[in-house]
C-alpha cells in the first residue's frame, strides 16, 4: 500500500497532501496507535501494583493542568468581549484585564449532564478490591485512609478545576474546557503542554480501570479455570477495541460521561449498595433508621437515574450529538 501511494504521489501532489493529512492530522489514527503502543502493553501486566508509578505520574499531570488553568485565569479579562462580539482577533493581553466583574450563572438545558458526570467522576468502587489486594500490611483502616485521602484530593482538584474554568469563561465555557482555551490562545506553548499532560493522564488511567473490568469478565465467564495469558490478552484487546470505537464515533466525551454517569454510576453509588444492604443484612430490623435510610437512598437513586436519563435523551432528541457547540 505504501509503495502504491508513493507511485501515485509522483504524479499527483494533492494525493500526497491528503495522505499526509490523513495519517498525521487525523486524531483517530493517533487513538489507535496510542492504544496499541502504550495502553495495551500496560494493560497486559498481571498485577495492578506495577501501575502505581504511572498513576502517580498521571496525577502529577493533572496537578500541572490545574496550576496552568489557575494561572491563565489571571491573564484573561472578564467579561470576554471577543466571545460576545465574535472578533476574529482572539489574542489576549494581560494589561486589558478590567478588574472585578459580577458575572451571573446561566443554566443551560445541558445542565442535566452535570450531576451524572459528577457521579461518574467519583465511581471508584471497581478499583477498591484490586488496590486493597496490593496494599502492604493491608487492613480495613488502612484502606479507609487511602480511600479518604484519594477522594478528598480528587474532590479538591475537581472543585478548583470547575471553579476556575467557570470563572474564566462563564457562560461561554464548553463541555471540554481546553477547547475553550484554544479559542483564546491559538498557539500557546504552555497550553499545548497542558493538553499533552491531560492526554497522558487519561492514557495512563485506562489500564487501571481495565484491570477490574477484565477481572470481572474472567470471574463471570471463566470461573475456576487457571490463569491464561492468551485469555488475559484477548480480553484486554477486546475492551480496548470497544473503547476505541466509542472514542472515534461518539462526537463528545460529555455524552459518554453523562449517559454512564446517569446509569452505571448511579447504580454503583446509590441503587446497588442500598439494595444489597436491605437484602443481605438480616440482623437489623427493617424499621430501623439504617434500613429506612437505605430505602430512601434506593428510591432517590432510582428517581435520579430515571430523571437524568430522561433529560439526557430529551437533549439528544432536540440537540443531536455533534449538532451543538458544547455549551
Do residues 174 and 327 touch, judged by C-beta distance below 8 A? yes
Q: Where are the domains of the chain?
A: 32-249, 252-327
Matching residue, cell 441503587: 271
Nearest to 61, CA basis, from 202, 158, 155, 159:
202
| Residue-wise pLDDT tens digits, 30-39 | 888 888 999 9
Whether the per-residue pLDDT at 181 is higher than 80: the answer is no
In whole angstroms, what is the distance from residue 207 CA to residue 187 CA?
Answer: 31
Question: 104: pLDDT confidence band, cut at 50, 70 and 90?
Answer: very low
| Residue-wise pLDDT tens digits, 182-230 | 777 767 788 888 888 888 888 888 888 888 888 888 888 888 888 889 9
Whether the per-residue pLDDT at 85 is higher than 70: the answer is no
Nearest to 263, CA basis, from 229, 308, 225, 224:
308
pLDDT of residue 324: 52
In whole angstroms, what is the distance from residue 321 CA to residue 237 CA?
Answer: 27
- 22 vs 291, higher pLDDT: 291
Do residues 37 and 30 touch, judged by C-beta distance below 8 A? no
Average pLDDT over residues 153-176: 81
| Residue-wise pLDDT tens digits, 246-259 | 888 887 777 788 88
Q: In this structure, what C-alpha cell is assigned to residue 39?
A: 495502553
The count of other CB atoms within 10 Å of the CB of residue 68 is 17
In whole angstroms, what is the distance from residue 271 CA to residue 264 CA?
Answer: 10
Alpha carbon dihedral 239, 243, 249, 250, in 10-degree steps, equals 130
| Residue-wise pLDDT tens digits, 261-287 | 888 888 888 888 889 988 888 888 888
CA–CA distances in Å: residue 151 to residues 5, 279, 324: 52, 28, 33
**% of the chain exceeding 90 in pLDDT:** 7
Amino acid at each position: 500500500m505504501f509503495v502504491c501511494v508513493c507511485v501515485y504521489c509522483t504524479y499527483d501532489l494533492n494525493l500526497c497532501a491528503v495522505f499526509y493529512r490523513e495519517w498525521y492530522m487525523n486524531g483517530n489514527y493517533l487513538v489507535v496507535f496510542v492504544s496499541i503502543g502504550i495502553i495495551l502493553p500496560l494493560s497486559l501486566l498481571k498485577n495492578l501494583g506495577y501501575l502505581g508509578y504511572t498513576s502517580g505520574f498521571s496525577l502529577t499531570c493533572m496537578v500541572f493542568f490545574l496550576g496552568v488553568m489557575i494561572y491563565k485565569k489571571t491573564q484573561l479579562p472578564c467579561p470576554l468581549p471577543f466571545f460576545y462580539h465574535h472578533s476574529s482577533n482572539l489574542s489576549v493581553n494581560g494589561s486589558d484585564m478590567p478588574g472585578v466583574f459580577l458575572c451571573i450563572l446561566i443554566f443551560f438545558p445541558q445542565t442535566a449532564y452535570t450531576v451524572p458526570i459528577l457521579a461518574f467522576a467519583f465511581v471508584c468502587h471497581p478499583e477498591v478490591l484490586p488496590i486493597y489486594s496490593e496494599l502492604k500490611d493491608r487492613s480495613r483502616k488502612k484502606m479507609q485512609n487511602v480511600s479518604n485521602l484519594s477522594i478528598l484530593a480528587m474532590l479538591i482538584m475537581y472543585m478548583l478545576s470547575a471553579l476556575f474554568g467557570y470563572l474564566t469563561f462563564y457562560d461561554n465555557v464548553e463541555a471540554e474546557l481546553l477547547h475553550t482555551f484554544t479559542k483564546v490562545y491559538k498557539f500557546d506553548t504552555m497550553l499545548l503542554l497542558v493538553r499533552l499532560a491531560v492526554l497522558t493522564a487519561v492514557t495512563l488511567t485506562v489500564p487501571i480501570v481495565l484491570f477490574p473490568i477484565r477481572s470481572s469478565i474472567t470471574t463471570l465467564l471463566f470461573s475456576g479455570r487457571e490463569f491464561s495469558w492468551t485469555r488475559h490478552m484477548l480480553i484486554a484487546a477486546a475492551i480496548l477495541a470497544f473503547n476505541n470505537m466509542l472514542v472515534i464515533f461518539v462526537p463528545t466525551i460529555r455524552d459518554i460521561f453523562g449517559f454512564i454517569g446517569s446509569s452505571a454510576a448511579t447504580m454503583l453509588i446509590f441503587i446497588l449498595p442500598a439494595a444489597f444492604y436491605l437484602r443481605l443484612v438480616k440482623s437489623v430490623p427493617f424499621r430501623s433508621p439504617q434500613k429506612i435510610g437505605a430505602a430512601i437512598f434506593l428510591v432517590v437513586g432510582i428517581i435520579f437515574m430515571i430523571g437524568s436519563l430522561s433529560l439526557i435523551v430529551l437533549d439528544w432528541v432536540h440537540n443531536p450529538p455533534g449538532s451543538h457547540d458544547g455549551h
